[in-house]
Amino acid sequence: MILTDQQIRFFQTFGYLHFPSIFSSQEIDEIMHEFELSIQMVGRGNLHDGTRRTMFGGPIEHRAHLCSLLDDTRITGILGGILGKNFNYASGDGNFYTGDTGWHPDGNWGQLFACKLAFYLDPLTIDTGCLRVVPGSHHPNHWLRSKPINPNDTLPLFSLDPRDLPGQQALETKPGDVVIFNHDLFHAAFGGGQRRRMFTMNCTRPCTTDEDLDTLHRYLSVHSAGGSQTRTGAGMFYPTILDTADEARMIHLAQCAAVHDELFPEYRRAVKREA
């Protein structure tokens, strides 16, 4: 997949893109099966009772089939078109979501540094917990960022429910769709059930300058296995994604793995990692 100039311009302006039906019904059935195996075996999904969110790290990293999403030209085309062809894969999270998720960004980088590629595994509408975004809110001069307003406090401020925040866009999705958005974009979900399945691939642009490498160090100090004090057995990533990687995949893994080793040497992989 190659993004058009219009799609790239849309993402730069509004901070997100929605790709309907990227995967066929057969493909997404297999992805859902593999996700369920992962969250049940390593994510404590068997203990999920709907009272709170269940989350686990590296959702594509535990099963060889899911690892291959990082080799899929549809996925690499989307990420490469936004972040550059040698983008960094920086892990992600897998979830059973419960209830509402208030307005928030995942980062405050003030630039296009990191994106989230999201897979929603249940049909979601505006009334059943679909992703909502505030287009353009990734820009530093957007009113959500330039004025001291918490979008979750609109009821006392404006007598307005946060789910009715002006200027938002509801991205209704079906299994097989993919959404990508800038980490700085404000987003939320309202009205969802107690077991909404969703997983992400977090990615950054490749770092070629000292300034970018410094930003990657700061990013991984929080958004990483070591940042959450989690031992993967393979440093930054869980072993399967490394053990099944070819040279093309390692382009997307090597830089984050190396920086993570610098930040958290106690989690460094015991065997030598081939770049």
pLDDT tens digits for range 165-190 = 999 999 999 999 999 999 999 999 99
Tally Cβ neighbours within 10 Å of residue 241: 27
Contact criterion met (CB below 8 Å) for 108 and 184: yes
The answer to whether residue 183 sits within a structural domain is yes
pLDDT at 1: 86
pLDDT at 148: 79
Number of folded domains that form the chain: 1
Tokens of 93: 């999270």
Q: How far, in Å, are 54, 123, 214, 217, 236 from residue 221 at the CA level?
A: 22, 34, 11, 6, 11
Does the structure show a pLDDT above 70 at 274? no
Sequence-distant (6+) residues with CB within 8 A of 249 are 67, 70, 71, 241
Separation between Cα atoms, residue 150 and residue 91, nearest integer Å: 29
Tokens of 144: 């959500």
Confidence of residue 247 (pLDDT cuts 50, 70, 90): very high
pLDDT at 275: 42
The answer to whether residue 221 sits within a structural domain is no
The answer to whether residue 5 sits within a structural domain is no
DSSP state of 84: -
The answer to whether residue 190 sits within a structural domain is yes
Separation between Cα atoms, residue 126 and residue 190, nearest integer Å: 8
Q: What is the mean pLDDT of residues 125-131?
A: 96
The answer to whether residue 136 sits within a structural domain is yes
DSSP state of 195: -
Does the structure show a pLDDT above 50 at 35? yes
The answer to whether residue 195 sits within a structural domain is yes
The answer to whether residue 256 sits within a structural domain is no
Q: What pTM did the predictor assign? A: 0.94
pLDDT at 149: 87
218-228 residue pLDDT tens:
999 999 999 99
The answer to whether residue 58 sits within a structural domain is yes
Mean pLDDT, the chain, rounded, equals: 95
Percent of the chain with pLDDT over 90: 96
Beta bridge partners of 203: 89, 115
Does the structure show a pLDDT above 70 at 271? no
Does the structure show a pLDDT above 80 at 273? no
- CATH number of the domain bearing residue 21: 2.60.120.620
Tokens of 242: 């490394």
191-200 residue pLDDT tens:
999 999 999 9
Sequence-distant (6+) residues with CB within 8 A of 133 are 15, 16, 168, 169, 171, 181, 185, 186, 187
Sequence-distant (6+) residues with CB within 8 A of 163 are 100, 132, 188, 190, 191
User: On the CB side of 205, how many CA atoms lie within 13 Å of its CA?
Assistant: 18
pLDDT at 60: 98
For residue 59, what are the domain limits?
17-208
pLDDT at 195: 95
Does the structure show a pLDDT above 80 at 272? no
Q: What is the mean pLDDT of residues 37-54?
A: 94
Give CA 118 to chain center in angstroms: 5
For residue 103, the one-letter residue type is W
Element (H, E) at 260: helix 247-263
